Amino acid sequence: MDSFKDREKAFENKFAHDEEMQFKAFARRNRLIGLWAAAELGKTGAEAEAYAMEVVYADFQEVGHEEVYRKIAADLAGKADETTIRSKMDELLGMAKAQILEE
């Protein structure tokens, strides 16, 4: 019986860890896409960092990550199309996951 409870606890711990890592990866991706978009908008330094944080906070507005795309798309209207933004989001998610694994 203890073996089953130990196994159950291990699965719960792994699930919690995986969820935490996923959250961190998306938050980092959102910051990175925010910095990319800020550069596209001509923002640098503290202004770029502030914009990146706006993008991170946009992800908390509703369930899912579509609001991040909508914010970036609205802000970059005419400067980047949907394919460019979505491919950059995918690219930066991979980069964010790699950075987190290196830490």
Instruction: Per-residue pLDDT tens, the chain, 103 aa: give them.
Output: 578 787 888 888 888 888 889 999 999 999 999 999 999 999 999 999 999 999 999 988 877 789 999 999 999 998 999 999 999 999 999 999 999 989 8
Phi, psi of 35 (to 5 degrees): -65, -40
How much of the chain, in percent, has pLDDT values that exceed 90? 67
Superfamily of domain 2-102: Domain of unknown function DUF1476 (1.10.790.20)
What is residue 37's predicted lDDT score, i.e. its pLDDT?
Answer: 97
What is residue 1's predicted lDDT score, i.e. its pLDDT?
Answer: 56
CA distances from 37 to 10, 18, 33, 64, 94 (A): 40, 28, 6, 20, 17
